[in-house]
Structure 1
Amino acid sequence: MIPTSESPLALPTHHLPNAEDFLMWPPCLQSYGFRNVDKLFATRDIARGPTPRALTRGPAYEAPFVSGGKTLSIADLMNRNNVVGLIATVDDAVVLERYGLGLQPHERWSTMSTVKSLTALLVGAAIADGAIHSLDDAVTDHLPAMRGTGYEGVTVRHLLTMSSGVRWIEDYTDRDSDVNRYSRSLAAKAPGGVLQLMASLQRAHPPGSFWNYNTGDTYLLGAVICAATGQRLADYMSEKIWKPAGMEFDAFYTLESDGGQEISGSRAGMTLRDMARLALLVVNDGRVQGTPLLGAQWVDAVSARAFELAGRENTAGVEILGVSGYGLSWWLDDDGGMWALGHSGQRIYVNRRERITVVQLAVYPEPAYYSPAEPDRDVLLLDFIRTLRLCHDRVNP
């Protein structure tokens, strides 16, 4: 358009990447966009309490580790994995906290799908409150809109274990996959759009019989929690976890539309230190200073294997990081480790037996931007964690 005297003034504007392509951005846009999710999508804050709980600080951990026959430093891990945030705790004390690519301690980074595991913690609180009667509650009892759909006969347990049996394609490289249709609905801020998408899905397997990673299942899980408790998900998270755990900063859930339902399975926003506090909540069996927040034995429940994943094709995080099983929205390895895994390198590791946690926030390139020189970033992270565990064992035999 050719400007005229009646054209608006050329004022400074701020460019944001295309929200529809959220799962396909190149690394340069990822490292910017993942810290600006709240500018791209509708969101609702998870409010912190008036007094944050200070993290205990231990001696700084600086040990090198060996990966691929090479001795590497923590700085090498930061560089090779495109890490924006790395924090580790041992015996409840922070031993490492580093930031990269310009991320600041107060900035909220996209959780990606790690929030699936965190939302699952709320189910324990809702059961303890009596709002959800049991894991065998039918989804349709709480969400009548799903009656007569592929989710007829699906329970809360099936949602937590990714075994609803509905046909769902979680392919981030295919613009027409179910997960990208879901992503476009979020970008369009279409009221009821995600629920309409979920209601359109057809049954592929009997509920509970087949594991298939499905971001939509966790969307419905969040909707069930809201319906059962009569509260917005962000408010329930604030009441049950964020405030009593002493989080330092407000977090946020992405919404399906302005003022709409929270997206409980992806792209929430949290700071690195508060994600470490969530990991500490899990390592301490759902307690903060002895006070239970999640109900009795809920962390035991989420860490119990529902499906064996060993030998499956490498899809949606299977066969990475030593993962061999799936619990209630937590990935499980053979060494006592629990994992919350998110797209593009977001990782939360909890080992309750050894009382170790690690959170990595990162920018892993999408497949379209791979090069032959790409390192195996998850192997690097796993080798770092193994060395941290060995060092801890030597100090605490």
Structure 2
Amino acid sequence: MSAALKTHPSIPRPALARTHLPRSEDFLLWSPCLQSYGYRIVDQLFATRVIQRGQDIRPTPRGDELELDYEHQGQPRSVEAFMDRNSVAGLLVIRDGEVVLERYGLGLRPGERWSTMSTVKSMTAILVGAAIRDGAIDDIDDPVVRYLPQLRDSGYAKVTVRQLMTMSSGVGWTEDYTDRASDVNRYSKSLADKVPGGVLRMLQAVPGLHAPGTRWHYNTGDTYLLGCVLCAATKRSLSEYMSDTIWKPCGMQDDAFYTLESEDGQEIAGSRAGMSLRDMGRFAWLIASDGVMDGQQVLPAGWVEKVAERAFDIPRDFHPSRLSLGLTGYGFGWWLTDDGAMMAMGHSGQRIYVNRAEKLALVNLAVYPEPRYVNAQEHDRDAELHSFIRACR
């Protein structure tokens, strides 16, 4: 037998302890147990960039503990029942600038970062006002191609910055979380594979479907491009701009992060950032107080009011949560109710509620099961959250 054909016994190797991580490309399809683990370790699954806190941490004013029981569908419930029934990882209520309720579950602890999901869309939209104030963006009706000329031959050729913020680009993007072939799941896989420029190439290929500005259609790609516009206009990374514009002036307690499309690549402006519960609460309170924090005008005067202007009505058949939470309109990245409240909405139960008139803010971090894991006994979790919010008012 020739030397080339000789076989050698395998060399034994000692068994090593290793940590198994869930598949990042299945991020929008995980089972509930994987969600409750994976939403705490997003920075181990995707490329990320830190949103740095400043040296001065704003103390969290504490009010009297909110002694709250609420009623849902005729049944009395407690805060503890609310958290158990709805798989809540974090719950924070702020009244008149004071934290009156702060609870943790599912192993989440103070200071740990949980996935924002799409609530970060609303946060990113807030930065546009700062970019206008800073002279980086001239006008929200500027065409996107002014800042991103590589889109001139795409379905975004005639879309404006305003239309990105109001989800009215008119492109034929599919936001179906249950379909692996949908645009949003292909986008998610590109992030998992950390493909440089992969998301932008996807968006360059999405065709125009309707005239820009004529129809509302939920589109994570629109907010991705909004982040690209902000970076091109300010000539800074989105993480840096968020840090200097909001995180440091508001005295945030913890570093946060944006997910990136690839290692050292573009931030994902519209999904899966990581933030602590308390800092999400601080952000919510900044909005509830019209951009003022401790007497300092952090956001341009009047910008929150502008953000809360209704641009489109939400179709009644869009999603069950639209009816369950009383959401009827969409502004600049924020969902709106008929009574003047605003909400930032994220996949699988991430919710930020702001009522400026009542000086009330609430953050809910949770694990709502994906559609294929929903059983016949599953209750309407958003309807119960709505009952809880009403009891806090």
- Name the TM-score class by shorter chain: over 0.9
Unaligned runs of 5+ in 2: 1-7
Q: CA deviation at 1:345?
A: 0.2
Residue deviations 1:120-154 (CA, integer Å, cap 9, x gap): 11001000001000111110000011111100110
Paired position in structure 2 for 1:358:
362
Matched, 1:37 2:39: no
Matches within 5 A, 1:121-270: 121-270=126-275
Corresponding residue number in structure 2 for 1:332: 336
User: Which residue of 1 is the match for residue 33 of structure 2?
Assistant: 28
Rounded to whole Å, the distance in 2 between the matches of 1:176 and 1:16 is 23
**Separation of aligned partners in 1, 2:147 and 2:298:** 23
Distance between the aligned counterparts of 1:320 and 1:371, measured in 2? 19
Cα deviation per residue 1:40-90 (whole Å; 9 max; x = unaligned)? Answer: 000000000012101110000122111011000000100011000000011
For 2:345, what is the secondary structure of its paired residue?
Answer: strand
Q: Is the 8 A contact 1:213 1:316 kept in 2?
A: no
The answer to whether the aligner puts 1:344 opposite 2:348 as a matched pair is yes
Question: What amino acid sits opposite 1:214 in the alignment?
Answer: N
Structure 2 CA distance for aligned equivalents of residues 49 and 58 of structure 1: 25
Given that residues 339 and 347 in structure 1 are in contact (C-alpha distance below 8 angstroms), is that contact kept between their aligned partners in structure 2? Answer: yes
- Specify the code of the residue in structure 2 equivalent to 1:368: R
Q: 2:168·2:213 contact (CA, 8 Å) conserved in 1?
A: yes
How far apart, in 2, do the equivalents of 1:96 and 1:365 lie?
25
Relative to structure 1, the CA distance from residue 71 to residue 184 in structure 2 (aligned partners, 3 Å threshold; closer, same or farther) is: same
Q: Compute the displacement of 1:308 (Å).
A: 1.1
1:266-281 correspondence to structure 2 within 5 Å: 266-281=271-286
CA distance in 2, matches of 1:26, 1:14: 18
Report 1:85-124 matches (<5 A).
Answer: 85-124=90-129
Deviation at 1:7, TM superposition (A): 5.3
For residues 289 and 78 of structure 1, what CA distance do their matches in structure 2 show?
A: 31
Q: What is the TM-score of this pair, normalised by structure 1?
A: 0.95
User: Deviation at 1:319?
Assistant: 2.7
Question: Which of the numbers 305, 312, 324 marks the counterpart of 1:320?
Answer: 324
Query: 1:69-112 CA deviation, whole Å, 9 max, x = no partner?
Result: 10000001000110000000110100000000110111100000
Question: Is the deviation greater in 204-213 or in 315-324?
Answer: 315-324
**How far off its partner does 1:9 sit?**
3.6
Provide the rounded CA distance (Å) in 2 between the counterparts of 1:379 and 1:203.
35
Query: Residues 236, 373 of structure 1: CA spacing in aligned structure 2 closer, same or farther, 3 A cutoff?
Result: same
- Percent identity reads 59
Please tell me the residue identity of whatever aligns with 2:32: P
Encode CA deviations 1:177-224: one digit per residue, 9 max, x unaligned: 010010010000000000000000000000000000000000000000
Runs of at least 4 residues off by over 4 Å: none
Segment drifting more, 289-298 vs 224-233 = 289-298
What is the 5 A alignment of 1:56-71? 56-71=61-76
SS of 2:319 mapped into structure 1: coil
Q: CA RMSD in A?
A: 1.2
SS in 2 for 1:312: coil
Q: Of residues 44, 48, 52 in structure 2, which corresponds to 1:47? A: 52
> Secondary structure at 2:131's aligned position in 1?
helix
TM-score (structure 2 length as normaliser): 0.96
- AA aligned to 1:184 is K
| 1:201-260 alpha-carbon deviations (Å, 9 max, x no partner) | 000000000000000000000000000000000000000000000000000000000000
In 2, distance between residues paired with 1:162 and 1:217?
Answer: 6
Q: Is the 8 A contact 1:162 1:214 kept in 2?
A: yes
Q: Using the TM superposition, give the Cα deviation of residue 317 of structure 1 relative to its aligned residue in structure 2, in angstroms.
A: 4.7
For 1:24, what is the secondary structure of its paired residue? coil
CA contact 1:317–1:341 (8 Å) conserved in 2 = no
- Could you say what secondary structure the match of 2:322 adopts? coil
Contact 2:177–2:185 (CA<8 Å) still a contact in 1? yes
Number of aligned pairs? 386
Letter in 1 for 2:155: G
5+ residue gaps, structure 1, are: 390-397
Residues 314, 320 of structure 1: 8 Å contact kept: no
Q: Which residue of 2 aligns with 1:395?
A: none
Q: CA deviation at 1:318?
A: 3.1
- State the distance in 1 between where 2:193 and 2:360 align: 40
Q: 1:394: which partner in 2?
A: none
The one-letter amino acid of 2:328's match is S
